[in-house]
Structure 1
């Protein structure tokens, strides 16, 4: 059965347009309740980020779960990984997050966690899709689910994050955190302050419409300025639902997800805690792969998307993986990608090594990377399988050898072919990428 609604991370779209309509959310709550509820008294947790539309979808999902006979605990604005943690800690049958992550306020989405705090597998998502095709049938009045608000969830998650830190304190560190006017606007700064850091918080004034607006992990200029003005040791950039984290070092330089993954792999290797492969994606920088292998650790590439990273980690028995965009998964600390947990792991490495972040990432040399998005007409598969495109890519790979790599892939959301080239020299990288992009354009004519 092919997917109609679920993408790589739940259901997502423009508010008011299919599938993100009130009617669909009601039916989705009912369908998910039928599949995940299982028995009388079944309970789900519903969290959200700070989008104004979150109120609408919270109410619609709650009604759908009630119609399926499932109780709803409403958590309010909380990071996606907080809902995952609380689902497990509070022994709920499932967790639901209303969020479109790093997207603008006019998008929203719904994603699910199972009772173990992990994202749903394909089989369960397909079962929910199958129920969406069935007529909605309400349980008997005496079996309807109820809803209540839970007020202490933020405090529970703060304590959980602090428990993953592993070092004495953050005393003496000056930290700027940008919460993207999103779900972590309260809990993010609180975690750092309670661990003893001197904290400057930005992106902590949500109004329902400014989530991810010129702030957070997709817009780093404000954080860079704040780090330099505050004289901070480090800056932390979260996205709207706080499941991803990028960082800024004391010099105002970006530390991306690949570099974060290297820092965490390096410290775990030094501690003798890394006995399985590290998992990145096909977009992970070649410099990360070479740095991980230099530690004597295997590096594996998954398809883009944190769910694919998670699948590979489970397949190889690994605990550490992530994406360049800042989704970092530490399965020795939690069950899903968590921006605050990832940030705390980097801060723990800085504290333990007594080194600035810029020095910790010094063991990884990033290769220059050029990414060109080529609009296409027709099927991406036909373009990627075109003989001239294949010949051109083979020739570029032959020329680069071990000094670089190429990747041509279809966008999962737009009619584009993404052409990526990495090589040792910037000019060589740009030249190769432009050559391949020209071949893709020619194949579309």
Structure 2
């Protein structure tokens, strides 16, 4: 990578408005793709009669399940934009669940939010010390933090929770609710519109209704963090310097950027965001800490970040997709997943046509065959096994990453070892 030539390359605000490198879909095209996918989903709903795939309650549940995944993904984005791979997101989420519930049942839910966030930050600080200062392999450090967090919470839970009402060695006492809000009038109107079952319009009403019905205040904060992250990282001198550490730390250092400081800040913020995702699980999604509560959401958050091409907007879409598939477990899972087999078959056929237009005939043929097999599965059955429903979020994670791999562009120095003064 060619180093910048002047100090203004890192410190000049005008460069903050330069678009990030890598192939990205423009907003009009992205909105058109989303509208097309929603229209296709509406057709599938009408054909199969599976009204639950786009109703308000389904979308509300999907939003709730997407939030911890999105927060973990945002944490990964902050760290990797500074050049530090954070596989330890799962462990930092575990710390957030435990510390949040521990403080929450004693001193109130908002104190739990703050302490859980600090717990995640401590995990991020440990990861930063090990990877940035001691230059340990980032993957090894992240895996170690996941194991350490799991072991620490298993040890601490009996000491902190046993003897309290509702507490045990694997569960905390109940935490008071943070509260929810519903937009009056608008929520009822969207629910009525969604119930009419009209093509496309009712599906949009279901999607929007889920965003304004029974929403936690922490959900609102989490949603606001997505544009907030974009603005800080792409529209401020601080963000420009931080991203330069993930692209070319040697060049950044030569221009006066304290690379260690920015890496430390990024990884600590990363841990705090993952911890906040854990707090959401132990205070909002459930009003208590429960061992194994994260269920791999830190890894899925990392997958959502990769799917989003290390960008906040793409990450949010990925988190929403994974949250939606996860919500199928809770609301009419077998019926809805069976209907989505038809949607998957249609998307694969459309993908095959697109590949054929681009003259990638081998890939097009394989995609078409897979689409035909999925359609045969749909046509030959009336429901899917419960095991398939439970595995759907993880299967979708793998499929989405496989299909999006060719357009990805990670920060150039992501995961690479760095020593102060190595460019001299």
Whether TM exceeds 0.5 here: the answer is no
Greater relative contact order, per chain length (Cα 8 Å cut-off, separation 6+)? 2
The structure that is strand-richer by fraction is 1
Compute the TM-score of the two structures, normalised by the length of structure 2.
Answer: 0.28
The structure that is helix-richer by fraction is 2
